[in-house]
Amino acid sequence: MSSPTSRKVQYLAGLCGAFTFVFTGATLSWPSPAIPKFKDGEASLQITDEQISWVVSLLSAGALLGCVVGQFCSERVGRRRTFLLSAAPGLLGASIILFTKWPLLMCLARFMIGITTGSVAVVTMIYITEIADKEIRGALGMTVQVMNNSGSLLIYGIGPFVSYTVLNSMIVTIPILYALCCLWIPESPYYHLKDGRVAEARKEFISIKGCKDEKWIDEQLGIIRAHVKESMENKTTAKELFTNIKYRKSLYIVGGLKLLQYMTGILVIQSYLEEIFRQSSSISGPRASIIYGFVQLGAGIGATFLSRWCRRRVLLLTSCVGVSVAMTTVGTYFYLQDIANVTSDTLQSISMLPLIGLMGFNVLYAVGVGNLPYVLQAELFPVNVKAVASSIATQLACVLSFIVTKFYLQFRDVFGHHTVFWSFACVGYVGVFFIYYCVPETGDKTLEEVQDNLKVAEVQPMRDFRDNE
């Protein structure tokens, strides 16, 4: 960037927005230490496997409603206030779980927590992509997964070794903390510009960019204002989003990436991690979960730096191949254990295979498939449809999450663990071809340049667009 700007506010505000995903990671991983406590009687409640599957999966059902809430609030009251309002249902739901002994109330509480995770999933990437310079937009977007992984590590590392009450008390504190962090963050200039509040947008833009060059500020704000004005003149509804041909490419790209993100096994691993390790590895479930959590966090941090140096399509392709091979490996171990009935000595010699496979999945997932779809869903749509498109993308993710977490136990019991993991691998192998032929490169481009290139892509082959730098 030629202008003497400071990115301090961008980094701090982006990190505060991303911090909301600590709650997402913690609540997604909560079943891993909680389920053993249910079965050991430590939680002091009677709950069946069927009820457990509902408790795990209703988070995704609540997130489906949360997407609608997040879309509405981000458009009507702004990105910043949406962060603050979203904390309320999550805090209430976590408090109910802390005190209830009834599975039905626990299901309701998990649904409420899902409203929070769905809301922040919609607004966080919109906010980060709108405030961040193009040079750091990808890296800041990747911190969402780092925060998600931090929440998971908190639960994996402490949850198995503390009481059920302490575990739930940890969950209660997180929405309070992230609401406090988001009190100071500036509003997105795009939010003000779409409603014609130019003076407010200029004030926030100056704060975010940390620049006092009036000429440069007016020039950059003018470019953004022109694109926002053009977009808002064509403001559309969800129906038009699906029927208007100019949004078609963005829709199938984001939809395909969401399928890869949630149908390659991440939620099954996060929610049932300790149970999986108890059935496979020679390492104890809690210890293996801690190792997994640390590797997951380190992978997320490493992926943040990689996004600054590597092209996004390269990261996505590498990630997709890696998670497919990892799931194939884990599935093969369970096939040998449950179907081939190999000798105990042979099984003991390969007992580390599930741990190695899941760690490999962990690292490769963080490199691309786990992070970049969030960035791309906020980049590929113009401001007039960004909130509704992000909401729909997250709703799709919620539906996929619900299906995977609700029916995992039943599918495993009927077809076996090996079939579950091989199914995840097959999705990943198909995804490699999808990324290669369909997903564009958006790195090192402003949001305005991304939209201009999408317009060009309507009359040029997708391959030309991928190579258009």
- pLDDT band at 172, cuts 50/70/90? very high
- What is the average pLDDT across 69-74? 86
CA 182, CA 116: separation in Å to the nearest integer? 14
Taking only the tens place, the pLDDT of each residue in 233-262 is 666 666 777 777 777 788 888 889 999 988
Q: Could you tell me if residue 191 is inside a domain?
A: no
The confidence score (pLDDT) of residue 442 equals 78
Is 458's pLDDT higher than 60?
Answer: no
Using 50, 70 and 90 to split pLDDT, how confident is the model at 300? confident
Average pLDDT over every residue of 304-325: 85
How far, in Å, CA of 417 to CA of 412, rounded? 5
Asked whether residue 285 carries a pLDDT value surpassing 70, the answer given is no
For residues 86 and 119, the answer to whether their CB atoms sit within 8 Å is: yes
User: What's the confidence (pLDDT) of residue 382?
Assistant: 74
Tell me, what's the pLDDT at 328?
95
Please write the tens of the pLDDT for every residue from 350-400.
878 888 888 889 889 888 888 788 778 777 877 667 767 777 887 888 888
Inside any domain, residue 82: yes
Take residue 347 and report the two structure tokens written for it.
């099984």
The answer to whether the CB of 139 falls within 8 A of the CB of 43 is no
Looking at 234-265, list the stretches that DSSP marks H as alpha helix, in order from N- to C-terminal side.
Answer: 238-243, 248-262
Task: Identify whether 376 is part of a domain.
Answer: yes
Q: Is the pLDDT at 146 greater than 90, yes or no?
A: no
pLDDT for 26 beyond 90: yes
pLDDT interval class at 229 (50, 70, 90): confident
The parent domain of residue 422 ranges over 8-185+234-467
Position 466 pLDDT exceeds 70: no
**389 domain-assigned:** yes
Q: What is the pLDDT of residue 461?
A: 44
Ranges 143-147, 207-211, 238-242: which has the least confidence? 238-242
In a domain, 400, yes or no: yes
Q: What was the pLDDT predicted at 283?
A: 61
What percentage of the chain has pLDDT greater than the value 90? 23
Alpha carbon distances (Å) from 7 to 10, 21, 252: 5, 22, 33
Nearest to 178 by CA among 212, 139, 144: 144
Q: Which of 34-38, 225-229, 259-263 has the lowest mean pLDDT?
A: 225-229
Residue type, 206: I
Cβ atoms of residues 249 and 462 within 8 Å = yes
Radius of gyration of the chain (CA): 22
In this predicted structure, what is the pLDDT of residue 83?
A: 92
* pLDDT tens sequence across 97-125: 999 889 899 999 999 999 999 999 888 88
Band the pLDDT of 464: cuts 50, 70, 90. very low
Q: Give CA–CA dist 12/19, Å, rounded.
A: 10
Mean pLDDT of the chain: 83
The answer to whether residue 214 is domain-embedded is no
CATH number of the domain residue 398 falls in: 1.20.1250.20
On the 0-12 / 13-18 / 19+ scale of CB atoms within 10 A, 110 is buried
> Which pLDDT score is estimated for 387?
66
Ranking 65-74, 210-219, 296-305 by mean pLDDT, the lowest is 296-305
Which band of pLDDT confidence, cut at 50, 70 and 90, is reported for residue 455? low
> pLDDT for 257-278, tens place per residue?
999 988 998 888 877 877 777 7
Residue 81 lies in a domain: yes
Residue type, 101: K
Q: What is the mean pLDDT of residues 153-166?
A: 90
The model's confidence at residue 167, banded by pLDDT at 50, 70 and 90, is very high
Structure tokens at 335: 């096939």
The span from the first CA to the last CA of the chain, in angstroms, equals 17
Q: What is the pLDDT of residue 4?
A: 55
Above 50 in pLDDT, residue 462?
A: no
Amino acid at 185: I
**Above pLDDT 70, what percent of the chain?**
89
**Whole-number pLDDT of residue 134:** 76
For residue 185, give the DSSP letter: P
Using CA atoms, how far residue 184 sits from 75, 80, 82, 238, 385, in Å, is 19, 9, 13, 32, 27
Query: pLDDT: is 263 or 296 the higher one?
Result: 263
What's the structural domain count of the chain?
Answer: 1
Q: What pLDDT is stored for residue 1 in this prediction?
A: 42
Cα gap 308→132, rounded to integer Å: 13
Asked if residue 200 belongs to a domain, the reply is no
CA–CA separation, 432 and 187 (whole Å): 37
pLDDT score, position 454: 65
